Structure 1
């Protein structure tokens, strides 16, 4: 009777040996996968510029330090009635530049509208700085071919205030667009070759051209239409 007991012992030993093998994964346990490293995300690609920088403009209050020479007590417009316009313009070097103009606060939209058009046309301007860079000297500013607006001064040949003294006038490229007397003379030697009209040269303003029309659309008049004396550089709100 000992043989069946021995057989049973052998069977139990075999079962124990099978249970010692690697266990089967439970149904809820995910099978182990080989570790992988994800590639880093590609850096964002900047757009390549396809043209000139966008036109920008900024209008801000005028501080006394901005106009140490061009404004003084007794001027027809208080500082609070003026605004500093910082804007983009296209240069004779075919590059974008940033310039400044001081104008009456009532015409800032006019100025931004027109100069945005000029920039879009790549219509060239030599320089655009406040007349205070020239210590308020209108002659020196014009001689440097500087485009400027406000200057508390009398009108040329008059004791009355100029439209510039109100911030309602601007002179553009005065070398290419000079002040020409009825006798045909100019005050600046560098403008002699530009005193006749029409004239097909960069930065020159001619009657009924797109620059004149752009100003006319916002209610500004051109000095090139004056009878007798011609002020080709000059635009003013409402004329004068």
Structure 2
């Protein structure tokens, strides 16, 4: 009996120890979940802000169209050396004295529209400035008033200055560019326009000024237009015409 009781105690003790081991093992092996309320919040990736693409001035544009008689109430009349049906309206982009693009209008003969577009495309690309560009009819056909307003213009059915012969402007193959900065100057250095007196000498510096041999003169020369600044005696610094004169 004593031997049996002793064995029973041994078995009981062994079972008791095994139970404790099995209980402890799961406790040490269990992974405790992280409380979501205490976990650090993930930092969201910043949403990229699209940067504004730089926008420059609009590209040069030019449109050549026929012009109606009513657009030329002062600059054309019966008896002019070119019919108005042979003239064209050129609407084109130019760079202003305010360093901004503008759209201006010129009237020229149909045969020289390509020349005008070619030259003014270059001037715009260079950002070479022009004060303004309106038909001379905005000044009731007055060449003097158009010049005084520093207006770049082309066709005007009028005689050449100081002559009874038709000007090349009357044929639609001449243009005056920034006439205040580039005045008509007599051989003794005189100009009729008070606001142009400081521009009578060449070469000179200034916005919109044309000087001998500069890129504006060369651009016109490349399409066969001559500059009045090269005339002997009287100088017409504003004036370009197809074939001269």
**What range is the shorter-chain TM-score in?**
0.7 to 0.9
Q: Please give the residue correspondences for 1:33-72 in structure 2 after superposition, counting only pairs within 5 Å.
A: 48-72=53-77
Of 187, 198, 212 in structure 2, the residue corresponding to residue 207 of structure 1 is 212
2:116 to 111, 114, 130: 111
Residue by residue over 1:131-188, the C-alpha shift from the partner in whole angstroms, topping out at 9 and shown as x without a partner, is 0000000000000000000000000011000000000000000000000000100010
Change (3 A) 1:193 1:75: same
Deviation at 1:202, TM superposition (A): 1.2
Determine the C-alpha separation between the residues in 1 that align with 2:59 and 2:196. 32
| CA-CA distance at 1:62 after TM superposition | 1.1
1:75 corresponds to: 80
The match for 1:187 is: 192
Q: Size of the alignment, in residue pairs?
A: 196
Distance change >3 Å, CA 158–CA 51, structure 1 → 2? same
Question: 2:132 aligns to what SS in structure 1?
Answer: coil
TM-score under structure 1 length normalisation: 0.80
Match of 1:159 in 2: 164
Matched residue, 2:39: none
SS at match of 2:90: strand
CA–CA distance in structure 2, aligned partners of residues 73 and 62 of structure 1: 16
Deviation at 1:51, TM superposition (A): 1.7
Partner of 1:171: 176
CA–CA distance in structure 2, aligned partners of residues 47 and 114 of structure 1:
33
Corresponding residue of 1:38 = none
Give SS of 2:152's match: coil
> Gaps (5+ residues) in structure 1?
1-44
CA RMSD across the alignment: 1.3
> After TM superposition, which residue ranges in structure 1, 4 or more long, deviate above 4 angstroms?
none
Q: Distance in 2 between matches of 1:195 and 1:55?
A: 31
Following the alignment from structure 1 to structure 2, what is the Cα–Cα distance between the partners of residues 49 and 231?
Answer: 41
1:126 equivalent to 2:119? Answer: no
1:99 aligns with 2:104: yes
- Which position in structure 2 is the counterpart of 1:230? 235
In structure 2, the gaps of 5 or more residues are 1-49
Structure whose alpha-carbon radius of gyration is higher:
2
Structure 2 length as normaliser, TM-score? 0.78
